[in-house]
């Protein structure tokens, strides 16, 4: 399908989906915010048909899976995370047939679909909550957490400190307080009620039957409440997630679950479960993300190294999920107070740039639109343990609008070309757009069409890097090991794949190097078991530089430019063996 304003792309292969239960290990995910991605019917709101029309672009880029945030009917007081109907499609986005067509078209291109499942709460407009308010003794009366006063669960922290003063809100209709860990218009479901558990399983089954490939489980640490605790990560919560996983594995094998648990790795690792009772297939690694940004300003890899050393091992069935930015604020919950203050000073000097306990800015403006830093950040993301997730628009270095409310600053329409509304919508009235277009200097005119026409653009760079990653699956499933380096500015690690796991006679070893400093660095990297090995360049800031060999003492000496990177494939030196 030809998209007006976007150059016709070369024919894309349509390999379909391979029946691989471990597909997620080497996958690159792409978050497409539906309402802001592409509008097909000129009403100003992105929709399923619009997203479907851009699948060839995402296939060209090299995306393996699309994560779509909530598209269910919603009052839209929290970007759709306030769900009013779990098994419907908001008419603004199309129909159920449009959704099914998207899944089919994506699968034809070898792209999988992951959708959000918000288990912790519903909208106050959900029929379940309306029934619970008006008929306490009815079938939905116990679907939510009610109390006669607001003294319960006093040890639970308030998450949205900008807007909420309590986790309890009084309901005039029922004459009781209801519990909510997030906004007061999002009452929490009561998972002590077996009927709630059964209802949620039916919701997940409904969407699994459409052929989706996975579910991102939103805000799961807060599912269960218990007095005398902080109501986070409780055993009952883990039993619920394990039960959901057991149902999916039995009825829809190969369907993954991704935990959104903004916690320290020592707590998050529990959401993988155990070999006997697996829980989530993947878990987002929140703490590593702010350390990447800290390291770029400190000019040293220490922060990244420290958080990776503190990350515990995970079960063999699990995988971390990593990201630089997404539709939420850049959360600073998992940093120290001193680290948070430095991050605010570096990246959010204006109050309007902050939200909750974080920063509501996009990637390119955060990094001062520095091409070197944008490249390095993505190279780090793609080489660290886990499956990476890109955020729509970051591939063309889109801007932000900090004057929009809450997190809408980073949710503006995708910029496709220089036609009206930047190709996002043929809507005649710009005021009808889901959000205003970016009008900031240097960012307003950026678009996919221009980036496609420029072989040196960030978009083409990312496409090349994604292709390199796909050609080296060791980056997704190989063992990870930090390496000792003579200069703390350099992060050095190896990714090594066992030959048996690779299905080949020989596995692969990649040495990944990144210079976080804004100065050139010469460093020695300790690789004792690779002594005498040769290397070849897989990816580099200076691709034509001669790759260094590992000397007989097991040391690799390398010179990296400012914000430079180098991926080296290492193998025994066959000439020396002869």
**Can you tell me the distance from the alpha carbon of 79 to that of 333, in angstroms, rounded to the nearest whole number?**
21
Which residue among 47, 213, 218, 279 is the active-site one?
218
Q: Cβ–Cβ contacts within 10 Å for residue 209, how many?
A: 10
Is 341 in the active site?
A: no
Contacts of 149 (CB under 8 A, 6+ apart): 177
Which alpha helices (H) appear in 299-447, and where do they start and end? 302-309, 337-347, 363-366, 371-383
Q: In a 3-state reduction of DSSP, which class is residue 122?
A: coil
Is 260 in the active site?
A: yes
**Can you tell me the distance from the alpha carbon of 112 to that of 55, in angstroms, rounded to the nearest whole number?**
11
**Can you tell me the distance from the alpha carbon of 248 to that of 311, in angstroms, rounded to the nearest whole number?**
28
Contacts of 179 (CB under 8 A, 6+ apart): 144, 145, 146, 147, 152, 153, 167, 168, 187, 188, 225
Among 30, 34, 28, 61, which residue's Cα sits nearest to residue 411? Answer: 34
**Can you tell me the distance from the alpha carbon of 286 to that of 292, in angstroms, rounded to the nearest whole number?**
11
Which residue among 47, 116, 260, 395 is the active-site one?
260
**Can you tell me the distance from the alpha carbon of 233 to that of 280, in angstroms, rounded to the nearest whole number?**
14
Pairing of strands 534-540, 521-526: unpaired
**Can you tell me the distance from the alpha carbon of 213 to that of 24, in angstroms, rounded to the nearest whole number?**
10
Which alpha helices (H) appear in 332-435, and where do they start and end? 337-347, 363-366, 371-383
Catalytic residues: 218, 260
């Amino acid at each position: 399908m030809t998209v007006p304003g976007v150059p016709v792309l070369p024919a894309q292969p349509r390999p379909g989906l391979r029946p691989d239960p471990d597909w997620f290990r080497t996958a690159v995910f792409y978050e497409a915010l539906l309402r802001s991605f592409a509008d097909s019917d000129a009403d100003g709101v992105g929709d399923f048909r619009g997203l479907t029309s851009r699948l060839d672009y995402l296939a060209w880029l090299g995306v393996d899976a699309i994560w779509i945030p909530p598209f269910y009917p919603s009052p839209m007081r929290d970007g759709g995370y306030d769900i009013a109907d779990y098994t419907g499609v908001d008419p603004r986005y199309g129909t159920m047939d449009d959704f099914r067509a998207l899944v089919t078209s994506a699968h034809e291109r070898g792209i999988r679909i992951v959708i959000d499942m918000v288990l912790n709460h519903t909208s106050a407009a959900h029929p379940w909550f309306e029934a619970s308010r008006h008929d306490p003794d009815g079938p939905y009366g116990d679907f939510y957490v009610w109390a006669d006063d607001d003294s319960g669960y006093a040890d639970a922290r308030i998450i949205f400190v900008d807007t909420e003063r309590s986790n309890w809100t009084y309901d005039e209709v029922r004459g009781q307080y209801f519990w909510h860990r997030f906004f007061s218009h999002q009452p929490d479901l009561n998972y002590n009620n077996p009927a709630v558990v059964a209802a949620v399983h039916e919701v997940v089954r409904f969407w699994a039957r459409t052929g989706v490939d996975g579910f991102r489980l939103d805000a799961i640490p807060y599912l269960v409440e218990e007095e005398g605790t902080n109501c986070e990560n409780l055993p009952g919560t883990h039993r619920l997630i394990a039960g959901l996983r057991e149902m999916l594995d039995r009825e829809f094998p190969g369907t993954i679950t991704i935990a959104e648990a903004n916690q320290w790795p020592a707590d998050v690792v529990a959401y993988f479960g155990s070999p006997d009772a697996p829980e989530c297939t993947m878990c987002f690694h929140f703490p590593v993300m702010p350390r990447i940004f800290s390291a770029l300003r400190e000019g040293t890899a220490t922060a990244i190294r420290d958080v990776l050393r503190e990350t515990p091992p995970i079960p063999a069935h699990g995988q971390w999920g990593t990201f630089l930015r997404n539709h939420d604020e850049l959360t600073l919950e998992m940093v120290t107070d001193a680290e948070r203050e430095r991050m605010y000073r570096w990246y959010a000097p204006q109050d309007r740039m902050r939200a909750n306990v974080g920063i509501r800015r996009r990637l390119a403006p955060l990094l001062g639109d520095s091409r070197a830093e944008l490249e390095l950040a993505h190279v780090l993301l793609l080489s660290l343990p886990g499956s990476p997730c890109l955020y729509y628009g970051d591939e063309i270095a889109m801007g932000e609008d900090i004057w929009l409310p809450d997190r809408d600053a980073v949710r503006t329409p995708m910029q496709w070309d220089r036609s009206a509304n930047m190709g996002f919508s043929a809507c005649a009235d710009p005021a009808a757009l889901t959000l205003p277009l970016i009008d900031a200097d240097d960012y307003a005119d950026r678009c996919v069409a221009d980036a496609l026409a420029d072989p040196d653009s960030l978009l083409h760079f990312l496409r090349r890097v994604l292709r390199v990653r796909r050609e080296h699956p060791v980056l997704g499933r190989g063992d990870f090991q930090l390496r000792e380096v003579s200069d703390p500015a350099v992060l050095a690690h190896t990714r090594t794949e066992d030959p048996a796991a690779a299905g080949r006679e020989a596995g692969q070893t990649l040495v990944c190097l990144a210079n976080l400093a804004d100065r050139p660095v010469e460093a020695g990297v300790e690789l004792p078991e690779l002594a005498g090995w040769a290397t070849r360049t897989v990816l580099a800031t200076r691709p034509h530089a001669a790759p260094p060999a590992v000397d007989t003492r097991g040391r690799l000496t390398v010179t990296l430019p400012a914000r430079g990177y180098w991926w080296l494939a290492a193998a025994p030196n066959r000439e020396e063996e002869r």
